Amino acid sequence: MTKRTVYRFQANSLKDTTRLAEHLSAYMDQGAVIALDGDLGAGKTAFSQAVARCLGVVDTVNSPTFTIIKEYQGRLLPFYHMDVYRITELEAEELGLDEYFYGEGVTIVEWANRIEALMPAERLSIYIENLGPVERSFLLVPSGEKYQNWCEALKENKLFYDPDKLE
């Protein structure tokens, strides 16, 4: 089993969270999948909203907790926002989520660990840890060459703090 590299981004404000979204969204293309996890209130939806804005979504983006999936049109790509907290893996499978994962847009899945077996092997997994009122730690784990390249490019631009070093 290959050891995965973990990248850390420290956000001391919502502006920092938006900065991470801006940098990542610059790489997002058709079929990009972001798996978001973290405790309640960690900022999964805030991060998703920031990505949507960066992709040119003009509609209000809110949590799809009860609708499971919301579709938006961005400037160049569709944006698919999912929240799978309230469904089982079997229910998720019946929804045909893979059509989104391998579709024409960018997909963000909140609570992705709940449907781990259905998630594409290649994706960017992000765990958001709540450190205080506005402070967050983002742990990024790329799976697949494309996502590894994204993170390495951001590391080169000194976006990450203490890459590869988790305390």
What pLDDT is stored for residue 96 in this prediction?
87
What pLDDT is stored for residue 4 in this prediction?
75
List all residues 6 or more positions away from 11 whose beta carbon is below 8 Å from its beta carbon: 17, 19, 20, 43, 134, 135, 136, 137, 138
Q: In this structure, how many other beta carbons lie within 10 angstroms of the beta carbon of residue 165?
A: 8
Beta strands 33-38 and 7-11, pairing class: unpaired
With 70 as the cut, is the pLDDT of residue 47 above it? yes
Q: Considering the domain 7-156 in this protein, what is its CATH number?
A: 3.40.50.300
pLDDT in tens, 5-16: 899 999 999 999
pLDDT band at 1 (very low <50, low <70, confident <90, very high): very low
With 70 as the cut, is the pLDDT of residue 32 above it? yes
What pLDDT is stored for residue 64 in this prediction?
77
pLDDT in tens, 145-156: 999 999 999 988
What pLDDT is stored for residue 5 in this prediction?
86
> At which residue do the structure tokens 């988790």 appear?
166
pLDDT band at 2 (very low <50, low <70, confident <90, very high): low
Strand order in the sheet with 78-83: 7-11, 136-143, 123-130, 33-38, 106-110, 78-83, 69-73
Identify which of 124, 161, 155, 160 has the alpha carbon closest to the alpha carbon of residue 31: 124
C-alpha–C-alpha distance, residues 7 and 138, integer Å: 8
What pLDDT is stored for residue 161 in this prediction?
61
What is the mean predicted confidence (pLDDT) over 61-87? 90
Identify which of 38, 76, 77, 79 has the alpha carbon closest to the alpha carbon of residue 62: 79
pTM of the shown model: 0.91
C-alpha–C-alpha distance, residues 29 and 77, integer Å: 8
